[in-house]
Amino acid sequence: MQEQFPIVSVVIPSYNHVTYVEDAIRSACKQELDGFRLEVIVVDDGSTDGSVDLLRQMQKMRKYDFRLVVKGNEGLCRTLNRAIREHSTGQYLAIIASDDMWRADKLRKQFAQLQGNPDCRLCYSNAMTFGEGEICKTWTRRMMAGDVKSILTIFNFIPAGTMMFTRGLFDEVGGFDETGLKLEDWDILLRSSDKTAFCYVDEPLLLYRLHGESSIAKMRARGVLFNEKIKVLRKNRSITNPLLRLVSVCLHFGLDKLARPLMASIKAENK
């Protein structure tokens, strides 16, 4: 019977994405269900761009079935932790940013993977980028299952919006870091990889929107992305291999301090 099915709780943290948030909510609420029930929780973190008015209007019109929580600005990690701990009831958790979208079969395929791999408590997938006039492309060509901590120490190959994990894993790692880390997805993935094997669906189940207001774009523009990566590696030094951390530092120094600025300069000159 359906009432005995486990619940997948989807959390959508909303902050100043009035142009995009309805697309994210629609893609979450229209998920194909197979063996589980769905609850969608939208938590607005003090938006100032009219997002709250739009969300309340959507609820009033009963366009989509979601629960709305409106609060003052606390930052992404605290927002996610509060939404999961205080407002969600599911045995499984998934998070989508308010400027991204999911394919309709995203949760169904990942739930099946987790059910078929009882040793895994986190499932991820590939993703497709789009927007800003860019050609759509897949996120990564290299996907790994099982013990992924070594490769995750070197670089984060998992798109944040593809993660689906158990509530037990979330509780065991202590949730998202609330100390001010900007790369909270890499941090929680590293801590999770110390506790469980991962599985994946090798399909682009997430549509990741490229635009100048994304958090990664802002960090890269301010020249602080490399420093944020170092913070994650330093915080997780007790669970990661020192040699792999050094490899990671060298890799990201080359990418963020040398290669990307050079490519951006060449691109600007060719315009």
The DSSP code sequence of 122-142 is: EEEEEEEEE-TTPPPEES-S-
Residues contacting residue 66 through CB under 8 Å, at least 6 positions apart: 12, 25, 28, 29, 40, 41, 42, 58, 59
C-beta of residue 100 within 8 angstroms of C-beta of residue 88? no
- Phi and psi (nearest 5°) for 13? -75, 125
C-beta of residue 51 within 8 angstroms of C-beta of residue 79? no
Residue 95: how many CB atoms within 10 A of its CB?
A: 23
Place of tokens 């609060």: 71
| pLDDT at position 250 | 93
Alpha-carbon span 11 to 43, nearest angstrom: 7
- pLDDT tens digits, residue range 172-184? 999 999 999 999 9
C-beta of residue 175 within 8 angstroms of C-beta of residue 144? no
C-beta of residue 102 within 8 angstroms of C-beta of residue 27? yes
Q: Residue 113: CA atoms inside 13 Å, Cβ hemisphere, count?
A: 25
Q: What sign for the dihedral angle of Cα 206, 114, 8, 13? A: negative
C-beta of residue 208 within 8 angstroms of C-beta of residue 139? yes
- pLDDT tens digits, residue range 39-90? 999 999 999 999 999 999 999 988 899 999 999 999 999 999 999 999 999 9
Parts of the chain with a pLDDT under 50 = 1-2, 266
Nearest CA to 84 out of 69, 73, 62 is that of: 69
Burial 198-234 (b: 16+ CB within 10 A, else e): bbbbebbbbbbbeeeebbeeebbeeeebbebbebbbe
Residue 33: how many CB atoms within 10 A of its CB?
A: 13
| pLDDT at position 197 | 98
What domains sit in the chain, N to C, each tagged with a CATH number?
7-211 (3.90.550.10)
AA letter at 56 = R
| pLDDT at position 1 | 45
